[in-house]
Structure 1
Amino acid sequence: MKVENNQLRLQYLMYKKEYLKKVEEVLDSGWYVLGNEVKCFENEFAKYNDAKYCVGVASGLDALILAFEALHLNPGDEVIAPANTYIASIMGFTRNGLIPKFVEPDEFYNIDPLKIEEAIGPRTKAICVVHLYGQIANMPKIMEIAQKYNLKVIEDCAQSHGASINNKKCGTWGDVGCFSFYPTKNLGGFGDGGAIITNNQDIQEEIRMLRNYGSRKTYYFEKVGHNSRLDELQAGMLRVKLKHLDELTTLRRNDALRYIKEIKNPSIILPKMQFGETGHVFHLFVVQVENRDNFMNYCANNEIGLNIHYPQPPHLSDAYKHLGYGTGDFPITESIANKVVSIPLYSGIPSEQLDYVIDTLNNYTD
């Protein structure tokens, strides 16, 4: 049996009639940029997250770049960030001239609050929190530290739409929450897209201006801005999917819980949940294996699709070579990068395929 690591078509087929109806509505409207669909999506996504404001932008990376720009930090200021993350989390603030201060992860793959405080220095001005793989980070503890040292908090929620602690969703704990709607995300569109949520009126007004060339009034420009606008078609499609997001999350979470319950192989380290089921939306199901090449060959021979999220930490990339880090500087992060594997999980994965993956993994020997 062949099992793909991810399959986007099934989600489309679930709501195909709604999607096609929305496409027709948008195309018939004759308005394709910053129109009613974007406005409605922004209102609906803000309401879903219990945030005051939402601003749609062109991508998750743009959301981070614009959010950090709107915070008015100074070039050379330091931002504490997880060493274990996708590189876009770091690019979002280094594009603003800010310097990363990396911190190792905890056992849940997120930034370790116990290590944040010791990394704070005189130039530290913010914390970039990444809710990796779909699990919300320890925001109560992180916010306690941020308030103690008067630090801004930016949440990278690209993988964690809807994850919460005590009904308070990710993206609403800090100053700004940044989202990606790349097609593979839990709330994925049919192209690139992103959004920023905040409860700060000044921040949302500046981001609206920055996303549109630095203009509040047509053809009058206050700043050198960006062309970063969520388009009408993507906003419309996202409005359709947002209505079903909790349903899709339940499907994904139930399948992930089957993996946790039924994979019983001591050679495969399963993910842990820190804040119960609502704290994890399982954007990815990431396991660790000691001999990854052997495991991947075994799965390939059994036609099970795998992926690695992520094989190279940002501090070891050529993009950040100038920071002067080397192998061994963040051993926990580097160990994770050498062992993690993402096994198949997506909303609507057939139960017989889940059965096959579970049985095959239980028969794996290192």
Structure 2
Amino acid sequence: MPKPIVPYHDLAVADKARRDELLAAMARVLDAGSFMAEEEIGAFEDEFSAYLGAGNCVATGSGADSFRLLLTALGLSRPDVVLCVPNASSVVADAVLQAGPRLDFVDVNPATGLIDLNRLEDRLRDESKPRANAVIAVDLFGQCADIAGLESLSARYGFVLIEDARQAHGALAPADKARSERVGGEARKAGGFGFPAVFSFSPEKNLGALGQGGAVTTGDAQLAKAVRAVRARGLGLGSGGKVEMADSQMDCVQAAVLRVRLKGLDAANEARRAVAAAYDKAFVGTGYTEPLAVLPGNLPNRHIYALTIPDRDDMRVYLDEMGVGTGLHYPVPLHLHPRFRVLGFARGDFPAAEEFALRTLSLPIRPDLSQDQVQGVIDAVRSFGGSMR
């Protein structure tokens, strides 16, 4: 098999331009003589919350821990109900179940993969089902969910809105209907809408650490204080009592690295958007593949570039043979995942998410991709489409 000409991930090249700055930041940590220095972590929290316009940021050891800490700080436990989409990371389901609430799902818009607000409202109105106490809005592949619509539903039905922004560092969306036709401008960044949001800084993210890291952001100072309290205690309230949790402080090496990389986040996102624009131009309307739709007013950070393809598995094999790396994101919806059979769902319960999982393929999209590499990906996809005619 040929060596990939365009690997899906290539983390080694990401920081060549900032290598000296990163080494200086790590040396600063070494010179401080403490790997849990509050000053470094606090500086990152301040800088990230200012970047988002969030008001408050609590750094944690991982994105998964951020979910658990937040759910505990919100007081969500049995018999509360949390709604989410099925095409999300198992981290979400694990965090909800570990914190104690019951987990239920809402199907997606097949054009975007984001939560379908019509289906969500149908679920909220359904008196035969338990009332939803919280809704997790997943910013899929770096595009924000319909924030304005979700805020409106939250006000009407009284649920807590939580943003899963783990893929959306630097993405923008309008926070009200008046801004719905604008891109950027007065739109706000993911995690900066005021309601609580969760971030991950694992190495492959647009803003990634050298290892694991996460954060909770919120406009509510009291909620941020509660998250810090849970983080400091290292335990949370779960089903029927207390559930032990490991302490989840971010270490200052990761904080120092993130402070450096945050400076280049907007430029890196713009480079990703340029790649996505080239892909969009090449693939829209081909008849055999279609990019995911972007909501009016949204500006995704293009963390993942996904196509919907009827013969997804065949294309993946073909692109691998052509030297183009690909990714499969959430090929098994959470309601069908073996780990979550206990929830009692069956095939056919969320058909749009199931179809989305079967048809979605992710192409390489990194800020370091050269024009030749981008064209190589385009040519490979096009040649597969030509072979199917």
Q: Same fold (TM over 0.5)?
A: yes
**Contact map agreement 2:54 2:193 (CA 8 A) in 1:** no
**Contact map agreement 1:89 1:130 (CA 8 A) in 2:** no
Q: Which amino acid aligns with 1:112?
A: D
Cα drift, residue 87 of structure 1: 1.4
**Contact map agreement 2:173 2:189 (CA 8 A) in 1:** yes
Change (3 A) 1:174 1:82: farther
Moved more, 329-338 or 170-179: 170-179
| Equivalence for 1:275 | 296
Q: Which runs of 5+ in 1 are unaligned?
A: 216-221
| Equivalence for 1:177 | 197
Deviations 1:299-343 (A, max 9, x none): 111011111001111111121101111111111111111111111
From 246, 260, 274, the counterpart of 2:280: 260
**Contact map agreement 2:191 2:217 (CA 8 A) in 1:** yes
**Contact map agreement 2:86 2:353 (CA 8 A) in 1:** yes
| Equivalence for 2:177 | none
Q: What is the correspondence of 1:27-106 to structure 2 with a 5 Å cutoff?
A: 27-106=30-109
Matched, 1:113 2:133: no
Matched, 1:234 2:237: no
Q: Which runs of 5+ in 2 are unaligned?
A: 175-186, 236-241
Q: Which amino acid aligns with 1:44?
A: E
Once residues 310 and 73 of structure 1 are traced to their aligned partners in structure 2, the CA distance between those partners, rounded to angstroms, is 26
Matched, 1:152 2:160: yes
Q: What is the correspondence of 1:152-301 to structure 2 with a 5 Å cutoff?
A: 152-166=160-174, 167-173=187-193, 175-214=195-234, 226-263=246-283, 265-276=286-297, 279-301=299-321
| Equivalence for 1:345 | 365
Change (3 A) 1:318 1:223: closer
Deviations 1:203-227 (A, max 9, x none): 1111112112359xxxxxx996640
**Contact map agreement 2:283 2:290 (CA 8 A) in 1:** no
| Equivalence for 2:179 | none
Once residues 171 and 79 of structure 1 are traced to their aligned partners in structure 2, the CA distance between those partners, rounded to angstroms, is 19
**Structure 1 residue matching 2:168: 3-state secondary structure:** coil
Give the aligned length. Answer: 359
| Equivalence for 2:178 | none
Moved more, 240-249 or 171-180: 171-180
**Structure 2 residue matching 1:178: 3-state secondary structure:** strand
Among all aligned residue pairs of Structure 1 and Structure 2, give the percentage whose two residues are the same amino acid: 31
Once residues 271 and 110 of structure 1 are traced to their aligned partners in structure 2, the CA distance between those partners, rounded to angstroms, is 10
**Structure 2 residue matching 1:23: 3-state secondary structure:** helix
Once residues 320 and 344 of structure 1 are traced to their aligned partners in structure 2, the CA distance between those partners, rounded to angstroms, is 30
From 11, 15, 32, the counterpart of 2:14: 11
| Equivalence for 2:180 | none
Once residues 363 and 87 of structure 2 are traced to their aligned partners in structure 1, the CA distance between those partners, rounded to angstroms, is 19
Deviations 1:133-153 (A, max 9, x none): 000000101110011111111
Q: Which amino acid aligns with 2:347?
A: T
Matched, 1:130 2:151: no
Change (3 A) 1:214 1:361: closer
Cα drift, residue 175 of structure 1: 2.6
RMSD: 1.7
Change (3 A) 1:214 1:289: closer
Once residues 160 and 242 of structure 1 are traced to their aligned partners in structure 2, the CA distance between those partners, rounded to angstroms, is 13
Q: Which amino acid aligns with 2:167?
A: Q
Matched, 1:329 2:332: no
**Contact map agreement 2:211 2:254 (CA 8 A) in 1:** yes
Once residues 118 and 56 of structure 1 are traced to their aligned partners in structure 2, the CA distance between those partners, rounded to angstroms, is 36
Cα drift, residue 92 of structure 1: 2.1
Cα drift, residue 172 of structure 1: 2.9
**Contact map agreement 1:143 1:173 (CA 8 A) in 2:** no
**Contact map agreement 1:210 1:223 (CA 8 A) in 2:** no
Cα drift, residue 257 of structure 1: 0.8
Q: Which amino acid aligns with 1:113?
A: L
TM norm structure 2: 0.89
Once residues 225 and 361 of structure 1 are traced to their aligned partners in structure 2, the CA distance between those partners, rounded to angstroms, is 46
Matched, 1:25 2:25: no
**Contact map agreement 2:54 2:194 (CA 8 A) in 1:** no
**Contact map agreement 1:213 1:224 (CA 8 A) in 2:** no
Cα drift, residue 184 of structure 1: 0.4
Once residues 10 and 364 of structure 1 are traced to their aligned partners in structure 2, the CA distance between those partners, rounded to angstroms, is 29
TM norm structure 1: 0.94
Once residues 141 and 50 of structure 1 are traced to their aligned partners in structure 2, the CA distance between those partners, rounded to angstroms, is 20
| Equivalence for 2:151 | 143
Cα drift, residue 262 of structure 1: 2.1
Q: Which amino acid aligns with 1:323?
A: L
Once residues 119 and 87 of structure 1 are traced to their aligned partners in structure 2, the CA distance between those partners, rounded to angstroms, is 22
Deviations 1:170-229 (A, max 9, x none): 2233531100000000101100000010111121111112112359xxxxxx99664001
| Equivalence for 2:239 | none
Once residues 227 and 62 of structure 2 are traced to their aligned partners in structure 1, the CA distance between those partners, rounded to angstroms, is 14
